[in-house]
């Protein structure tokens, strides 16, 4: 497998990153089967693994920790914090108080004494970014964390964090983890070029648009997924926006078929073809799903094929606004009332 530089960290990672959200009660409840899938990914050349404390209430991290015993130093291990882990108001967020507790919990579950990439799962509307960066800088100094990153930060939030790090002499975010797929292309307009200008590595999540590009949901067989990790609104097949997505999926599926590849392969190859993208996070629940995703690491899409994709879904376009991870705080009624 061909490896790529992760921003300017000096670390090289595979173009596909193994996401582990589906390991545990949110997806595959068979721990040993999940471990076999992780081992198969590593054996195929994937050296990048991404998880989060909130996935299945910590069970995903425990499974990853078990799977990496004896192979830990061969893997670039990323995890995330921020999402609430209990009803306690301080068990979540980007505060120093929570970060110092969350990292110890993750280290214990992962059976490791260091995390290669520790990421803020979401920006915080009520926490100064200096507070978050200061705590994370201390963790880097302590050797518990090697590098730090952000997830679902807007372009302006990326710039603010970079400016704060430079101004206050703190560790800076070296990666960003945004949503990106054939159906969710909004980050092409601002987030990707901004992150690229700051030398950040990009590991994109949901490259199959939460299953929309798996080939399972087509116009003649549209059904809703049942995972508790997926917001129902994004899969309401009666909504006009999702009807437009179904139309696009149908065209993309036919394009993939005419090009001699699966829709999954087309979708993943498209994401990792973007010059600003380092790695696409794939989240298999089964071995069959992993095997269907691996060929994309070696698939090259022609310029003609990319042009045809742009005709189906225009660059910078997110077909359904519900798929957008940005503006969750800024666009609530209380924030926009005058």
Are the beta carbons of 293 and 16 closer than 8 angstroms?
yes
Active site residue 55: yes
Cβ(202)–Cβ(176) under 8 Å? yes
Exposure class string for 236-260: b at 16+ Cβ within 10 A, else e: eeeeeebbebbebbeebbebbeebe
Q: Catalytic: which of 55, 118, 153, 326?
A: 55
Is the distance from CB of 222 to CB of 237 less than 8 angstroms? yes
Q: State how far the Cα of 280 lies from the Cα of 249, in Å rounded to an integer.
A: 19
Tell me whether residue 334 is exposed, middle or buried, using C-beta atoms within 10 angstroms of its C-beta: 0 to 12, 13 to 18, 19 or more.
exposed
Handedness of CA 152, 24, 212, 225 (dihedral sign): negative
Evaluated on CA atoms 334, 336, 337, 338, the torsion sign reads: positive
Exposed / middle / buried, residue 304 (Cβ in 10 Å: 0-12, 13-18, 19+)? exposed
CA neighbor of 118 nearest in space, from 164, 150, 162: 150
For 48, residues 6+ apart whose C-beta sits below 8 A from its C-beta are: 13, 14, 16, 17, 18, 75, 76, 78, 203, 279
The Cα–Cα gap between 108 and 101 comes to 11
Known catalytic residues are: 55
């Amino acid at each position: 497998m061909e490896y790529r530089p992760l921003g300017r960290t000096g670390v090289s990672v595979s173009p596909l990153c193994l996401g582990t959200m589906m390991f545990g009660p949110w997806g595959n409840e068979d721990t040993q089967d999940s471990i076999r899938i992780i081992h198969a990914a590593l054996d195929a050349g994937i050296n990048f693994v991404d998880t989060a404390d909130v996935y299945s209430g910590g069970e995903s991290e425990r499974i990853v920790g078990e799977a990496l015993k004896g192979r830990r130093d061969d893997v670039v291990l990323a995890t995330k914090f921020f999402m609430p882990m209990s009803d306690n108001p301080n068990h979540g967020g980007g505060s120093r108080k929570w970060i110092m507790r969350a990292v110890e919990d993750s280290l214990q579950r992962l059976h490791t004494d260091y995390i290669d990439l520790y990421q803020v799962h979401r920006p915080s509307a009520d926490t100064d970014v200096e507070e978050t960066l200061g705590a994370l800088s201390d963790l880097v100094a302590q050797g518990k964390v090697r590098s730090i990153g952000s997830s679902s930060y807007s372009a302006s939030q990326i710039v603010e964090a970079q400016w704060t790090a430079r101004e206050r002499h703190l560790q800076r975010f070296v990666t960003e983890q945004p949503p990106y797929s054939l159906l969710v292309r909004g980050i092409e307009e601002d987030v990707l070029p901004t992150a690229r200008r700051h030398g950040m590595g990009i590991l994109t999540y949901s490259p199959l648009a939460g299953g929309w590009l798996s080939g399972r949901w087509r116009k003649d067989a549209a059904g809703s997924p049942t995972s508790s990790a997926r917001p129902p609104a994004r899969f309401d097949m009666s909504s006009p926006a999702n009807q437009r997505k179904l139309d696009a999926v149908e065209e993309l599926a036919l394009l993939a078929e005419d090009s001699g590849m699966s829709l999954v392969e087309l979708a993943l190859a498209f994401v990792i073809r973007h010059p600003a993208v380092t790695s696409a996070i794939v989240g298999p629940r089964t071995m069959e799903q992993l095997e269907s995703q691996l060929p994309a690491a070696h698939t090259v899409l022609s310029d003609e094929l990319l042009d045809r994709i742009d005709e189906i879904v225009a660059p910078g376009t997110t077909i359904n606004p519900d798929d957008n991870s940005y503006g969750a705080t800024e666009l609530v009624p209380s924030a926009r009332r005058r």
